[in-house]
């Protein structure tokens, strides 16, 4: 990393800052020292190390508290460190550090740091020389500063401190004697950083300089691994703005970031329960998607199994986003797995088309779209059609369990919102087989619009009980002679099945049914879908197969319109990009829910007729 292009960038940077380089560290005393110090220098030059030491020591004794004595201490320390006696030299440097002569104090700190490093203490060495990074010494001592900084950086655990120092050295310390080794030290330091330190340094170091480039690359790698979109944007933007963008490793990493941010428009993820509970729903959804992919010739489907488990869902969505780079995700099924998947898709900005009927599904993230209708959506449609026919008095017959109680509460709210009259609902134990008493209780009310909130097998028992008690639902015309009153039935989709008419057709005439998908519809597209599905899978399509078919087609069509990044795709879906569907879901509202209510049908003989 940062070997060729970055080295050139560093050279350009050094040339640009040369004009503002700091003044060279130099003391007037060094050029014109006292005679005794000059004599000590001569003795050292001639090889008389002991004589030089004695001369320096005598001068220090004879001139206590003077800057000249500080110079003697500095030069005595240098002499001893040069002959490998750093332990004794340290005391001289520490005293010279306090000199009133700024240049002597700075040089003493430099030499002290060098000795601390040689004695195996890179942490203290860095702390000592870190304030010197913005200074300029003689060429010999500047090289020593670089060498000390680089070696200490290679050995230290204080990586953040070392990087800050090297950042300043790159800016003001002149060219390093060994640029490749300096670069290697920067790379090594970055790998030692914690992510918290990396984030802090990203904001502190000079943008575009080599340490900042290395930190940005580390941060970008982490952001890609954790699928953190905001961090990917920040780090990749920093690298694009640096002179190192032409470095091959930087270019490749930024390209990965682009693909992560925008997704691969040729791959769509499918996040479905293909094992465990819910696997039949997952299988139907997948078959619908696969059939649509054959019809459309659109993006590839990358499929992951959630097994209906939130923990597995997190792993699965991470694989789709991190490995497959999907542009969107179809799924998962249910509110818990949607919530689990949404955290990852939110960070990556990936549109998630959830097959959850929960109204809370879209609150899991700004890129979560609810492809299924909620129970409230169906009740709103049914009550609205009934009110349009002048019907105003409503009652619900429901099993006393979670779903039934939820429907009772929602029905009450929707009737009130539509300006109708709500009679107290009638509950019965789950699994009830005889409904005479409960039907009589309903008929004792003044309400004649009855919502069934149970499965189709139970509806097949309940509807004839009303007729037996003299209350008939009819499509048009007069009531049967033996009928005492007319009732109007409302059925949400869970209360309907294709077999229901075969069992209770006579008693359900005129009933209104909310159905997102009607398998017997004779529209051209529905007929094609039904025929193609039966040919491929050997059975008629059910509702979830239709949902899968339309969800894939909606994504494929929106991509073909030129919305080929995750953000563009999400924006287009929020703006109402649509498709002619086999279900009622042709597009999304700005709230990321189905833009139009589910179709409502009326039972007419053995068929359902769409209610306009």
Report residue 11's pLDDT band, with 50, 70 and 90 as the boundaries. very low
Please state the rounded mean pLDDT for residues 265-286.
Answer: 96
Alpha carbon distance 260, 266 (integer Å): 13
Beta strands 600-604 and 512-514: pairing type?
A: antiparallel
d(CA 399, CA 495): 12
Say what the pLDDT of residue 375 is: 97
Domains 263-370+524-590 and 375-514 share a fold: yes
Mean residue pLDDT of the chain comes to 93
The pLDDT tens digits of the residues spanning 495-520 come to: 999 899 889 999 999 999 999 999 99
- CATH code assigned to 375-514: 3.40.50.2300
Alpha-carbon distance of 300 to 555, in angstroms, equals 12
- Cis peptide bond N-terminal to 405, omega within 30: no
d(CA 394, CA 449): 5
pLDDT in tens, 567-609: 999 999 999 999 999 999 999 999 999 999 999 999 999 999 9
Residue 182 token pair: 């300096």
- pLDDT, tens only, 391-408: 999 999 999 999 999 999
**Whole-angstrom distance, CA of residue 73 vs CA of residue 96:** 6
pLDDT digits (tens, 9 = 90+) for 412-459: 999 999 999 999 999 999 999 999 999 999 999 999 999 999 999 999
Q: Residue 48: what pLDDT?
A: 95
Q: What pLDDT, on a 0 to 100 scale, did the predictor assign at position 21?
A: 52
pTM (global) more than 0.85:
no
- pLDDT number for residue 19: 37
What percent of the chain shows pLDDT beyond 90? 84
3-state class of 330 per DSSP?
strand
Residues 476-481 have a mean pLDDT of 87
Q: Where are the domains of the chain?
A: 5-27+101-261, 263-370+524-590, 375-514
Q: Is 38 exposed, middle or buried (0-12, 13-18, 19+ CB in 10 A)?
A: exposed
State the residue for tokens 């800057």: 67
User: What phi-psi label fits residue 452: left (phi over 0), alpha (psi between -120 and 50 degrees) or beta?
Assistant: beta
Distance in angstroms (rounded) separating the CA atoms of residues 574 and 477: 45
Angle in degrees, CA 341, 583, 545, rounded to 5: 60
DSSP 8-state class, residue 300: E
Residues 6 or more apart whose CB falls under 8 angstroms from that of 79 comprise 44, 49, 52, 53, 56, 89
Strand-strand pairing, 329-333 and 300-305: unpaired
* pLDDT exceeds 70 at position 54: yes
In CATH terms, the fold of domain 263-370+524-590 is Rossmann fold (3.40.50)
Q: Report the distance separating Cα 126 and Cα 161, nearest Å.
A: 8
Using pLDDT thresholds of 50, 70 and 90, give the confidence band for residue 228.
confident
- pLDDT at res. 261: 85
pLDDT reading at 172 higher than 50: yes
DSSP state letter for 205: S
């Amino acid at each position: 990393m940062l070997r060729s292009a970055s080295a050139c960038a560093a050279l350009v940077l050094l040339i640009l800052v040369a004009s503002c380089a700091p003044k060279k560290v130099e003391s007037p005393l060094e050029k014109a020292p006292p005679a005794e110090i000059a004599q000590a220098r001569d003795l050292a030059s001639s090889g008389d190390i002991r004589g030089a030491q004695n001369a320096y020591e005598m001068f220090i004794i004879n001139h206590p508290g003077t800057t000249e004595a500080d110079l003697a201490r500095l030069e005595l320390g240098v002499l001893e460190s040069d002959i490998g006696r750093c332990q004794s030299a340290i005391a001289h440097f520490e005293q010279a550090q306090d000199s009133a002569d700024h240049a002597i104090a700075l040089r003493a700190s430099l030499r002290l740091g060098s000795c601390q490093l040689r004695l195996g203490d890179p942490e203290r060495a860095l702390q000592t020389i870190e304030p010197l990074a913005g200074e300029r010494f003689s060429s010999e001592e500047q090289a020593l500063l670089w060498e000390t900084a680089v070696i200490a950086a290679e050995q230290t655990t204080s990586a953040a401190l070392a990087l800050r120092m090297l950042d300043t050295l790159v800016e003001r310390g002149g060219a390093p004697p060994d640029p490749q080794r300096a670069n290697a030290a920067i790379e090594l330091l970055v790998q030692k950083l914690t992510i918290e330190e990396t984030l802090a340094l990203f904001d502190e170091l000079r943008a575009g300089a080599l340490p900042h480039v290395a930190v940005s690359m580390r941060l970008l790698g982490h952001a890609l691994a954790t699928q953190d979109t905001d961090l990917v944007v920040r780090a990749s933007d920093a690298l694009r703005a640096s002179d190192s963008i032409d470095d091959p490793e930087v270019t490749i990493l930024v390209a990965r970031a682009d693909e992560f941010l925008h997704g691969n428009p040729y791959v769509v993820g499918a996040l479905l329960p293909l094992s465990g509970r819910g696997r039949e729903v997952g299988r139907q959804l997948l078959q619908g998607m696969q059939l649509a992919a054959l019809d459309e010739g659109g993006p590839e489907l990358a499929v992951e199994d959630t097994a209906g488990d939130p923990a597995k869902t997190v792993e699965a969505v991470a694989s789709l986003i991190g490995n497959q780079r999907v542009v969107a995700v179809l799924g998962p099924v249910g509110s818990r797995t949607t919530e689990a998947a949404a955290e990852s898709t939110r960070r990556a900005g990936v549109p998630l088309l959830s097959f959850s009927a929960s109204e809370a599904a879209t609150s899991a993230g700004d890129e979560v779209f609810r492809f299924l209708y909620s129970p409230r959506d169906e009740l709103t449609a049914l009550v609205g059609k009934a009110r349009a026919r002048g019907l105003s008095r409503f009652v619900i017959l429901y099993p006393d369990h979670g779903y039934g109680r939820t429907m009772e509460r929602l029905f009450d709210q929707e009737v009130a919102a539509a300006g109708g009259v709500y009679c107290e609902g009638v509950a019965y134990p789950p699994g009830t087989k005889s409904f005479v008493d409960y039907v009589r209780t309903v008929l004792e009310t003044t309400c004649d619009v009855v919502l069934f909130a149970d499965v189709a097998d139970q509806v097949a028992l309940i509807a004839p009980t009303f007729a037996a008690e003299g209350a008939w639902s009819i499509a048009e015309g007069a009531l049967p002679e033996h009928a005492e009153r007319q009732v109007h039935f409302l059925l949400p989709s869970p209360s309907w099945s294709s077999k229901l008419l075969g069992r209770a057709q006579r008693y359900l005439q005129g009933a209104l049914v909310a159905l997102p998908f009607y398998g017997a519809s004779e529209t051209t597209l529905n007929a094609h879908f039904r025929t193609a599905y039966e040919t491929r899978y050997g059975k008629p399509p059910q509702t979830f197969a239709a949902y899968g078919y339309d969800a894939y087609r909606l994504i494929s069509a929106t991509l073909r319109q030129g919305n080929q990044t995750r953000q563009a795709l999400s924006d287009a879906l929020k703006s109402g990009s649509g498709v002619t569907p086999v279900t009622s879901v042709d597009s999304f509202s700005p709230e990321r829910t189905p833009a139009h209510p589910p179709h409502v049908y009326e039972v007419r003989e053995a068929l359902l007729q769409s209610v306009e």
